[in-house]
Amino acid sequence: MPTVYLLDYVAGNVRSLSNAIEKCGYTVSRVSSPEEVANADKLILPGVGHFGHCMSQLASAGYLPAVKAHIAAGKPFMAICVGIQALFEGSVEDPGVSGLGLIKGSLDRFDDKDKSVPHIGWNSANSGSKSLHDLQPGSKYYYVHSYKYPYKAGELEAQGWTVATGTYGNETFVGAVAKDNILATQFHPEKSGVAGLRVLKSFLTSEGVKSLGQQLTGPAPTGGLTRRVIACLDVRTNDQGDLVVTKGDQYDVREKGDERGVRNLGKPVEMAKKYYEQGADEVTFLNITSFRDCPIADLPMLEILRRTAETVFVPLTIGGGIRDTVDTDGTKVSALEIATMYFKSGADKVSIGSDAVLAAEEYYSLGRKLFGNTAIEQISRAYGNQAVVVSIDPKRVFVPKQDATRHATIHTAFPGPKGEEYCWYACTIKGGRETRDMDVVELVQAVEAMGAGEILLNCIDRDGTNSGFDLELINQVKSSIRIPVIASSGAGNPSHFEEVFQKTPTDAALGAGMFHRGEYTVQQVKDHLAEKGLEVRKFEG
């Protein structure tokens, strides 16, 4: 098999990319010193973390001259995500740091006044009527970034680049560029399903170079960011010691009746693949009992992730137990080390639950100061804030009057048992077992300040009820922060997804039980959304 060389300059989350390259029929060789770059025919630069981190890692390890020489020699070179950003001269993300300068111009940040930032999800890469490495007008590609190069018609083209763009809100940005031996994508081809694999293949076979910039005929691309539908698998060990997908009713995952065994709904790897093939835009695993009595390096979840990442080419999130901890042999293991193990096994994001609540409590008790030592700060510094999700398990607390509590209340359309017209949402830890004196608004604002990139907003009252999402909760949280929110808990049929997208500004919606029980497929949800005029990504088999 031909070989492609991958610049693994931060020992980061390149497993998914390796899997995608292997899926295209190539062997991956990881470059771990500048000298090895000279041996590379095809070289890929994946981008991890932020612009300054990427450039400083490349510079300090001595890669910059080798990469420049590779490109100047006309050898195939591909850059992904922060990799495309590195081709520019600079970025407002790290103003003092220079990029490679192969493209004139500097990146800026998406405007978050009227939309969530980071831009996360499936969007177009519209190359107009020009051929660009098999980008297709009807396809969608997975983006996750806060910084972008704003597209100005004709500007990069005048520098000889063929350009594809995406549109987010009222901003049009550069989604991909190509010239001669260079291809760079802001989206992640390795996470963009079959559409992304096509782009990778075009680069690897050099087929795309031959047709680059040629005039295309065919339908004009339409649309922008699609409505993201996520399948979530709660995973835990059952009483026989096997890791199974389970699902609770308001977090109680045990069967009704005398035996009270853990509800077993199937095998995690098989179910993740099934949802990928039904068109899930992301798959989330929550290890709901995290790790108990097991050396961390042997976590069964790591194996599940590794196997899932071999066949599922959409983003994978893993949550449960991400906190500083002590291994079974007494060794201290930091949350960052645990996250790194997950990333190396194929995760794209990690999700932090209980630890985020405790960190937020400390943040407020210390007068809203940050010291860089929380799990959220450490992981987002190393891998970028888009890699850190905070999963929240709130519970409604009813109060008779708005000022009956110090917490952020809402006037609810669903009064409490004593007719209370107000409520607030209390944060819980340990899978809802312990309620804390912190409301969701306090929590999301604290974790946004720490560098979380997204909120997974569960709701214990709605979980497993099939009664629809808690729209009041989602609206309250969305109006408090700028980072994206995934609505979760309560989905029982496709119209609940329509409702949450129509009645709240949520960025994504997640379902679990209705998919696991086979009542509806992800495809049916998306078909329903499309019928109602909401744009979705179509699965390409």
Catalytic site residue from 234, 282, 461, 470 = 234
**Cα dihedral 41, 46, 47, 48 sign:** negative
Site for ligand 1PR, residues 420 to 449, rule: CB under 6 A: 431
Nearer to ligand 1PR by C-beta: 288 or 379?
288
Q: How far is the CB of 38 from ligand 1PR (least distance, A)?
A: 44
3-state helix, strand, coil in the chain (%, to 5): 30, 25, 45
* Cα–Cα distance, 221 to 214 (Å, whole number): 17
Q: Taking the complex as a whole, how short is the minimal distance between the CB of residue 82 and ligand 1PR, in angstroms?
A: 27
Q: Does 290 contact ligand 1PR by CB under 6 A? A: yes
The DSSP secondary-structure symbol of 151 reads P
- Say if CB 345 and CB 305 are below 8 A apart: yes
Three-point CA angle 138, 516, 395, nearest 5°: 100
> Rule CB under 6 A: is residue 489 a binding residue for ligand 1PR?
yes
- Residues 6 or more apart from 268 whose CB is under 8 A from it? 233, 235, 243, 244, 245, 285, 304, 308
**Catalytic residue from among 24, 54, 81, 232:** 81
**421 flagged as catalytic:** no
Is there binding between residue 288 and ligand 1PR (CB under 6 A)? Answer: yes
122 contacts 228 by C-beta, under 8 angstroms = yes
- Considering only 162, 354, 476, 480, the residue that binds ligand 1PR (CB under 6 A) is 354
Instruction: For ligand 1PR, give the closer residue by CB, 212 or 232.
Output: 232
The closest residue (CB) to ligand 1PR is 431
Kindly state whether residue 320 participates in binding ligand 1PR, applying the rule CB under 6 A.
yes
Under rule CB under 6 A, residue 470 binds ligand 1PR: no
Task: Find tokens 């010193």 and name the residue.
Answer: 33
Residue 58, φ and ψ in degrees, nearest 5: -65, -40
Tell me the C-alpha distance between 103 and 156, whole Å: 8
Q: What Å distances lie between residue 214 and 131, 176, 211, 244, CA to CA?
A: 5, 16, 6, 50
* Contact window for ligand 1PR (CB under 6 A) among 28-36, 78-86, 113-121, 346-354: 346-354
A 10 A CB-CB count for 411 gives: 10
**Residue 24 is among the residues annotated as catalytic for this protein:** no
Q: Is 459 in the active site?
A: no
Strand pairing of 325-326 and 141-145?
unpaired
Q: Which of 70, 188, 407, 516 is catalytic?
A: 188
Distance of alpha carbon 262 from alpha carbon 249, whole angstroms: 12
Per CB under 6 A, the list member of 85, 131, 386, 488 interacting with ligand 1PR is 488
- Tell me, yes or no, if 234 is annotated catalytic: yes
For the CB of residue 212, give the shortest distance to ligand 1PR in the complex, in Å: 44
User: Cβ-count burial of 533 within 10 angstroms (0-12 exposed, 13-18 middle, 19+ buried)?
Assistant: exposed
Q: 464, 248 in Cβ contact below 8 A? A: yes
463, 470, 472, 498: which one binds ligand 1PR (CB under 6 A):
463
Q: In the stretch 223-242, what mask flags binding to ligand 1PR with x, by CB under 6 A?
A: ---------x-x--------
What is the footprint of ligand 1PR within residues 37-66 (CB under 6 A)?
A: none
Q: What is the DSSP string of 73-94?
A: TT--EEEETHHHHHTSSEETTS
Nearer to ligand 1PR, 369 or 503 (CB): 503
| 282 forms part of the interface with ligand 1PR (CB under 6 A) | no
Q: Interacting stretch for ligand 1PR, rule CB under 6 A, among 155-163, 207-215, 303-311, 319-327?
A: 319-327
For 464, residues 6+ apart whose C-beta sits below 8 A from its C-beta are 247, 248, 249, 250, 251, 489, 512, 513
Q: Which of 78, 82, 286, 486 binds ligand 1PR (CB under 6 A)?
A: 286
DSSP label at residue 400: S
Out of 189, 315, 321, 453, point to the residue binding ligand 1PR (CB under 6 A): 321
Q: Is residue 468 close enough to count as binding ligand 1PR by CB under 6 A?
A: no
Does 461 participate in binding ligand 1PR (rule CB under 6 A)? no
Compute the least distance from the CB of residue 392 to ligand 1PR, in Å.
8
Is 422:486 a contact under the CB 8 Å cutoff? no
**Catalytic-residue membership of 190:** yes
Tokens of 75: 């050898």
The CA distance from 50 to 453, in Å, is: 13
The answer to whether 163 touches 195, Cβ cutoff 8 Å, is: no
- How many residues touch ligand 1PR (CB under 6 A)? 31
247 binds ligand 1PR (CB under 6 A): yes
Catalytic entry in 393, 454, 461, 472 = 393
Q: Which of 86, 491, 500, 525 binds ligand 1PR (CB under 6 A)?
A: 491
Instruction: Confirm or reject binding of residue 393 to ligand 1PR (CB under 6 A).
Output: yes
Tell the smallest beta-carbon distance from residue 476 to ligand 1PR (Å). 17
* Residue 319 interacts with ligand 1PR (CB under 6 A): yes or no: yes
We find the least distance from the C-beta atom of residue 365 to ligand 1PR, in angstroms, to be 20
Residues 496 to 515: which contact ligand 1PR by CB under 6 A? 511-513
Instruction: For the chain, give the number of residues.
Output: 541
Cite the active site residues: 81, 188, 190, 234, 393
Contacts with ligand 1PR, residue ranges (CB under 6 A):
232, 234, 247-248, 251, 253, 286, 288, 290, 319-322, 351-355, 391, 393, 431, 458, 463-464, 488-491, 511-513
